Amino acid sequence: MKKIEIIETIDKIGKKIEIFGWVNSIRKHGKIIFIDLRDRSGILQCVIDSNSKYFDIAENLKPEYVVRIKGIIKKRDEKLINPNIETGNIELSIEELEILNEAETLPIPIDKDGYEINEELRLRYRYVDLKRKRLQKNLIKRNEAILFIRNWLNKRGFIEIETPILSKSTPEGARDYLVPSRIYKGKFYALPQSPQQYKQLLMVSGFEKYFQIARCFRDEDPRGDRQPEFTQLDIEMSFIEKDDILNLIEELMIDLVKNIFPEKIIESIPFPRLKYEDVIKEYNSDKPDLRKNKNNLAFCFIIDFPMFEWKENENRWDAVHHPFTHPKTKDGKKDFETLIKYLKEKPEELLSEQYDLVLNGFEIGGGSLRIYNPELLISVFETMGNKREKVIKNFNHLLTAFKYGVPPHGGIAIGLDRLLAVLLNEESIREVIAFPKTGEGRDPMMNIPSEVEKEQLDELGIKIKDECRGNN
């Protein structure tokens, strides 16, 4: 007999079936017991009476026991129909019942949305927390959205290419997570903050249309709704202008909402394209919330960002987006000689070919047209206070690649965690991630970060300073 999911029992009236799942609840009424069985697809009421040889087993069931049940699907009496569940007009008459595994009392309840429970406790028992209907719905919707995005881009000629997780530490933004090498002691890999350099190298290779559902890592200071690791939709294209990318992303977002979140309403199509200077003046933010109704979706693009911002504590210029972003003058000039002059004499007057995608007051994506002239890229890094020799050493792979036919190119990265949180009406991205860290970057379930054995450190040639031991 083929095992079926609970949702499939709806059209099995009169048939003998076998199902597996968790005991959601038990109701005992003397000589008859009602068992609500749960699997990922739904809940089914199962009934057994005292005439069954399995009645004693049913009497000893407790919530979350894992069981196998065989029986006949029957139509419920009209007065007993439960309109609150999809299988509410049927029930299963139990003929066989087997306990596959017992379960202790759950450390946290799962019958409600869970917002009322201390988050530290929820994350400590995340495998239990994930049993609740709201989180299962969130992760199922996440899967549907990512599958839709993959298929949508594939139909438009994009190729998904995985890029390395063990990469090189380079000065391009946030602090890197470092991974020591056992074989090459004293040397390190770095986890990628994004696939930025790899996707630009793929443009040199001639793929022209790349995407990836990419895992990214940034060792940033703790913040409430930030994660050390996150997922982004990463896109890069060759031979394009800014409008090509904005039009692509606009079309993708519209189709994603229409197909996966049809209950949502996008307030303005096409998405407004607003200049950074204007939104700062009007909203005092580069992430304006343009909604007229709080339940709607208000997308907009922010363009014409400054190329640089002054870091007072470091006494230097830093890139607003990242150093690979192509600069331009306020009147739109992008020729090499003009840009070099501005970089040396008045970098504060340069704008950039950066663009952000904002949704309901959150930045959910950002990208740019890239620099593809090696000398211009070096000059940008020099403007940011880097020595030419160091830039050439750190980015030799990219600079060398640019000698072998690099096309004009650009791209964007969409933060899938934040996008899905907004679309699913969640305040925190942790509600749409299966196993998130706390806002402080800890995992109470695995108890990490954690110490490792001295033997492991010895293999890596690493010694922990005494003053660092035992620090929280």
How many of the other CB atoms lie within 10 Å of CB of 376?
A: 16
Q: What is the mean pLDDT of residues 369-398?
A: 94
Residue 467 is predicted with a pLDDT of 75
Domains 6-101 and 127-432 belong to one CATH topology: no
Residue 471 is predicted with a pLDDT of 59
pLDDT tens digits, 294-311? 889 999 999 999 999 999
CATH superfamily entry for domain 127-432: Bira Bifunctional Protein; Domain 2 (3.30.930.10)
Confidence of residue 3 (pLDDT cuts 50, 70, 90): confident
Residue 397 is predicted with a pLDDT of 92
Residue 171 is predicted with a pLDDT of 67
The answer on pLDDT for 89 being more than 90 is yes
Fold of 6-101: OB fold (Dihydrolipoamide Acetyltransferase, E2P) (2.40.50)
Secondary structure (DSSP) of 20-56 = EEEEEEEEEETTEEEEEEEETTEEEEEEEETTSTTHH
Secondary structure (DSSP) of 60-119 = T--TT-EEEEEEEEEEPPGGG--TTSTTTTEEEEEEEEEEEE--PPPSS--SS-STTS-H
Residue 251 is predicted with a pLDDT of 98
Phi, psi of 308 (to 5 degrees): -130, 155
Residue 225 is predicted with a pLDDT of 81
Q: What is the mean pLDDT of residues 145-163?
A: 98
For residues 356 and 151, give the distance between their C-alpha atoms in angstroms, rounded to a whole number: 24
Confidence of residue 221 (pLDDT cuts 50, 70, 90): confident
Burial of 427 (0-12, 13-18, 19+ CB in 10 A): exposed
Percent of the chain exceeding pLDDT 90 equals 93
pTM of the model: 0.94
The answer on pLDDT for 472 being more than 70 is no
pLDDT tens digits, 247-273? 999 999 999 999 999 999 999 999 999
Residue 370 is predicted with a pLDDT of 97
The overall average pLDDT reported for the chain is 95
The answer on pLDDT for 344 being more than 60 is yes
8 A C-beta contact, residue 177 and residue 437? no
- Domain spans, the chain: 6-101, 127-432
Residue 174 is predicted with a pLDDT of 78
Residue 414 is predicted with a pLDDT of 98
For residues 375 and 428, give the distance between their C-alpha atoms in angstroms, rounded to a whole number: 42
Percent of the chain exceeding pLDDT 70 equals 99
pLDDT tens digits, 411-446? 999 999 999 999 999 999 999 999 999 999 999 999
